[in-house]
Every structure is written in structure tokens, then in C-alpha cells.
Chain A
Amino acid sequence: MPRDEIDLRYTVERLSILDEDGNLDEALAPEASDDLLLSMHRTMLLARRFDERMLQLQRQGRIGTFAPVSGQEAAQVGAMAALRKDDWFVPSFRESAAALWRGTPMSTLLLYNAGYNEGGAIPEDSHDLPIAIPVATQIPHAVGLAYAARYRETDQVAITFFGDGATSEGDFHEALNFAGVFAAPTLFLCQNNQWAISIPREHQTQSRTLAQKALAYGIPGIQVDGNDVLAVLAATREAAERARGGDGPTLIECVTYRLSVHTTADDPSKYRSDDEVEAWRARDPIPRLQRYLQQRELLTDDDIGELEDALAAEIEEAWRDTKAQMERLDDPRNMFEHHYAELPPYLREQRDAVAGRARED
């Protein structure tokens, strides 16, 4: 009856490829065409500028509360860029950069943030799920989608995004366990942005990494420099290949930082120091990629200037489009739509009463 060690050969790796000065570790670098690099850069920058514009619109009362993505663009764009259009995308509520990569129009995102359910509409040919606000509750859906894809013998995978705080919820653990048990081709992309509103990462769990939570469920976990778009790309690609090949799920912890407010209703000065924010600003994923692209002469200062102008124009165009849509959406009966395939009789009565009231006003 010995008391000895169980032979668990578990390790957790940390992956970083592009350092803060934009220098590349050639041996680890994933294959990425110039086009891919430039389009990742473009989407990351667009996401940043879009965030800034939305913050203005929110402060002016034109749109409502939203969760800015600033600082996390590499984690989102790097991961999505590793996947195919027909892979499933299961976001939480801070995934605007990932959504832009997927081709979600900015006007749709703005419409959502302006308080219209129509902003959540998903086009027929898309494999994206809508925004999910209750933390971690979307994670099991990705496992179900992934399992269904395998059952139907496609080689699609499903990726779901969530935060460091989400790893404390039961749904996270239950979903990882399901994915392990059923070998569902799921990529769990945790954006460890160091904060869950006011709760710092160290207070969220005593685990040294979030990646290691995978080990309890018998699936691989890896920690990645989440501000390094190439590391995220490489790790996600590797996980996707494994999943497509039938080798099951992976948990990817992207170590990153929320540079902005939690949401526009939040005041971070209550719980974190400017020094901390500034230290992370120095690791901003966008200038880092930009430095690398400039070293490789894929991008010049002039190019960046032109790109900035083009993105600003796109954003303004989107806002104009959103405003036009809002004008067309002023019928209060819209609130009765899409609860059921067919509106039940009692709801029809209620809808008609609303219509009557609108006419009287």
C-alpha cells in the first residue's frame, strides 16, 4: 500500500513569438502571407478606432453601454484569422474585433449598441452566434456546435471567447468537461485581460495560470502572449488542426489587458492604478505588429496615414447607415418579433393593442 506520486505528464507551455519591439522569433513564427499580416493589422486598427468612436458616441448619449475591446485586438484577430469562415464563432460581449474580422458590418454593431434588437440579427450564411452577456453561459453552446459538426462529419471547429472571470463560473467547467468527454472540436479562447470589472486576476483564482484548468479535464491548455498576434495565430492554428483531426478540444489562455473601461458604466479609477495601465499600454498589440510590419517594409508611415483616413471614413459611413436604419425601425410592434416561429394568439392581441396605442399618440 504505497503512497506515491501519480504519473501525470502534464505541462503548460507559454508561447510568445513577436516581442514588444516587434522582433520575431523565426523558429516559432507561423506561416503568414503578407496579405494575411496586413489584413490582421487592418482589422486590429479598425477595431481600435471603432472602439474610440463608440466611446464618443456613448458619451454623447447616441448609443448605450458597451464593452470596449481596446488592448485585446490581437487575441481576437489572431484567433479568428487561424480559422475558416465556416467554423463556428461563439462570442461573449467584448468581441467586436473578432466580429469585424468575421465581416459583421459596423453599422450592425452600432445598431445593437444603440439599443435595437435588429443589431443582433445574424445573416443566413453566417456561422456566428449573437452576443451573450451572462458570463460563461455561451461556452457550452460551442461544445454542442462542435459536437454536431463532428456528428455531421464536417471538419468544422467551434471557437468560443470568454474572460478570466468566466473561468470561475460552473458553465466554463462543465463545458470543458463535456468537450473532453465527447472529444468535441472546440477551441476555448480565454482572454485573460487581468480584470473582471474590479476583481483582479489573482483574486479570481489561486491557479497560477488559467491554461492549467484544462488539465483537470484531460485536455491540452496553453498560455499565449495575447498581445502577440502571431503567437495567438500559431496557437489557435495548432489547436484547430488537432480538433479537425479528431483529437478534441484545447484551452488557450491569451494573456492580455483591458486598456479601457470595463463598460462605459464603469470607473476603473476605483480599483486600478494609472501606472498599471501605462505599463500595459507599452505592450499594446497594435504598435507591436506595426513595428514588425515596418521592419519588413510591408507598411510605411504613409500607408498607415492613408489607412487611418480610410478607416475613419468607413466608420463614419457605418454610423450614417445606422442612423438611417434607426429611422426605419420606429414601429413599437417590432418588440413582438422573433419570440416564436409563429406569434401565439394572445401575443397577437397584445401587439395589436400596442399598434392602437401608437396611432393614438
Chain B
Amino acid sequence: MAELTMAKALNLALTQEMARDDGVMVLGEDVGVDGGVFRITEGLLDKYGEARVMDTPLAEAAIVGFSIGMAAYGLKPVCEVQFSGFGYLAMHQIEAHAARLRWRSRGRYPVPMVVRMPYGGGVRALEHHSESKEAFFAHTPGLKVVIPSGPRNARALLVSAIRDPDPVIFMEPKRIYRAFREHVPDDEETLPIGESKTVREGGDITLVSYGSMLHPTLQAAEQLAEQDGAEAEVIDLLSISPLDDSRFTESARRTGRVVVVHEAQRSFGPGAELIARLVEKSFWYLEAPIARVTGYDVQVPYFAREADYLPDAPRILAAAREVLSHA
């Protein structure tokens, strides 16, 4: 057991998977000599050499397209898109090929690759470096979209993503790369992709979130208990595709009240799908309108106003109180 940041925990996952399977390849812009702009791939080049840890030319479409080729051959590429905001330059490769090659070839060519990308705000970054557009990927059949919320689950999920037979978009909440440490076991640990987790139990209201927003959500839950005596159940989705709707719809049937939290834009965001599932599966148990606390339907403002855009504990708390106020 070591106390690791999420950055180090992801590095551990890559280091161990590369040791375990010589088909695991790491590639992307600045991932080798520099160790990645967030240092997630630090040390891999020295350990595994430049045939497996590839500093690529600056070309997202080719990084992803080339990875698709390697995956079709039977390797397990883990490519890095430096920031999710630059993933659009590879969108045609992701949508037209990574997501479809298994389907198009009637199962002959699965695409067991991982596209890692830091996403999300809260680090005072430049334009395109703070966004959270996971819905683009979740909307595409054939892709899995995994979003960890801390060091331990990040490590376990990345291992699972690498071993997964299908393409996984692995979105890393950059805001918490180094925000806190957790115990991460030295020995291998995996987590099933497509399974959510209850991280706080409670019977009065259900709060659903994922990624870096899990943390203000948990804060709001604590404040709700201290200040209002209401116990919130908090669910961490961990994957948004496949979306595990068993847990949060079950929780909603018990509490009758739900708040969904994400930093992605509101309209057509993941919350919209969550709420649709709640309406489909838990409608008769709801005691109040469902609330969502999200980014606004604007581009993430430059960082001076980022805090006004991003959901925070006070906004989540206010929404939870509103939902609880319905008799």
C-alpha cells in the first residue's frame, strides 16, 4: 500500500500493465521524454523503450487512427490526447472507426484500445483546456466512457480499461490529478467497467455524480447532514457508458428525491440521460422534481470566471434543499 496521487496511481496502472503484457503500447504527444504534460507517463520510456512508448508527431487523428491499426492487429494501445479539447481533431477516427470496426467487420476486428484524455476545469487553464464534453463520446455506440474520481479507482479502472476488449475513452479529471492522496494497493486491482458505486449511504435524498464533481457533491452531502439533518446517498457513476442505471434508480426508489451533478454543459449533458432513466424506471417513486446542477449552456469561460461556471458545494446544497423542500 502506498499513498498516491491520482497522477501517480495512473502511472502505476500503466507501469504494471506494460510489465504484464508486452502488447500494451503507450503513445501520444510528449508522453515519452517529457513523461506527459501531466507526468502520467513518466518513467515509462526508460523502462520500456521507444518502440513501446512513442513520442508522436503532433497529430491527434493519426495518434488515434494509428492506435486503431495497432489494436486491429492485436496490440493494446493506450494513447493520450493531451487535453480532451483537442480530441475533436480525432473525432472522425473515434466515431467512424474505433467505435465501429468490430461492428463493421462482424466481430473480426475488435478495437481493444484506450484513449486517455484529461478533461474538466478548475486549474486556471487556457481555452479548450477546461471542458467536459463526455456526452459526445457517450452518445456514440461502441465506445465506453470511463471517468474516475480518485487515485484508487483511477488505477483500478485504467487497468480494466486496458484489458477491456472494446475501445474505452478514459477521461481523467485533471483538477484532482494531485489534489489528494489515497491508499493504492501495490498488487493488481481492477474495477468492473459499467458499474457505479455508492460512496455515502443515506435515505433522504440521492445525489449522483462522477469525476471531479464527486468531491463538492460529497461536501454538500456532509453539510446537508450537519446543517439540515438530512442524509444523502451519494453515487459515483465511474462509467457514463455503459451507464449503470441499476444503482441510482434503485436509490431513487428509496429516497424519492434526486439531484444530478456534473460540470458538463446542461443541455443534452449526461444528466439529461440520467434523468430520463429515472423517469423511465423510478417515476412512480419520485416525491419531488429532479434537480440537476451542471455547467451552464455556455462555453467554459476563461479562467477568471470559471468558478462562476463550475458547480460547487453551495450550488449543490441549494439544489438539494430545494428538492427536499417539496412536501
* B40, chain A: closest CB distance, angstroms: 14
Among residues of A, the one whose C-beta sits closest to the C-beta of B318 is: A357
Interface residue tally of chain A, by bracket?
Answer: 35 or more
Is A23 positioned at the interface, with any CB of B under 8 Å from its CB? no
Q: Which residues of A contact B32 (CB under 8 A)?
A: 198
- B304–A115 touching, CB < 8 Å: yes
Interface hits, B256-299 → A, CB 8 Å: 266-267, 296-299
Given A64-B303, A198-B33, does the pair A204, B298 have CB atoms closer than 8 Å? no
A114 at the B interface (CB under 8 A) = yes
Residues of B within 8 A of A347 (CB): 296-298
Q: Tell me the complex Cα distance, A357–B308, Å.
A: 10
Q: Known interface pairs A115-B306, A271-B34. Does A168 touch B299 (Cβ–Cβ under 8 Å)?
A: no
Interface pair B37/A197, CB less than 8 Å apart: yes
Instruction: Say which one of B57-65, B145-153, B213-221 lies at the interface with A.
Output: B57-65
Per a CB cutoff under 8 Å, which of A66, A112, A329, A339 touches B299? A339
Contact between A199 and B124, CB atoms less than 8 A apart: no
Q: Write out the residue numbers on chain B whose beta carbons fall within 8 Å of the beta carbon of A140.
A: none
Closest CB in chain A relative to B182 CB, distance in Å: 25
Residues of B within 8 Å of A165, CB to CB, are 57-58
With CB as the reference atom, state the residue of chain A lying closest to B315.
Answer: A357
Band of interface residues on B: 35 or more
Q: Which residue of A lies closest to B307 (CB)?
A: A332
Chain A residues within an 8 Å CB radius of B127: 131, 133
Judged by a CB distance under 8 angstroms, whether B181 is at the interface is no
Instruction: Establish whether residues B309 and A335, one from each chain, have CB atoms under 8 Å apart when the complex forms.
Output: yes
- Cα–Cα, bound, A329→B128 (Å): 22
When distances are taken between beta carbons in the complex, the residues of chain B under 8 Å from A334 are: 301, 305
Q: Is B48 an interface residue (CB 8 A)?
A: no
Q: Are B297 and A197 in contact (CB under 8 A)?
A: no
Q: Does A245 contact B (CB under 8 A)?
A: no
Question: Which residues of chain A (116-151) have a CB below 8 Å from chain B?
Answer: 116-117, 119, 131, 133-137
Establish whether residues A65 and B126, one from each chain, have CB atoms under 8 Å apart when the complex forms: yes
B85 within 8 A of A: yes
B55 within 8 Å of A (CB atoms)? yes
B89 touching A137, Cβ below 8 Å: yes
Q: Apart from A65-B124, A117-B301, A350-B298, what are 8 other A-B pairs with CB-CB below 8 Å?
A: A66-B126, A115-B305, A135-B58, A169-B60, A271-B33, A334-B305, A335-B298, A335-B309
Q: List 9 A-B contacts (CB under 8 A).
A: A66-B126, A133-B127, A198-B55, A199-B30, A203-B57, A204-B58, A270-B35, A335-B301, A336-B296
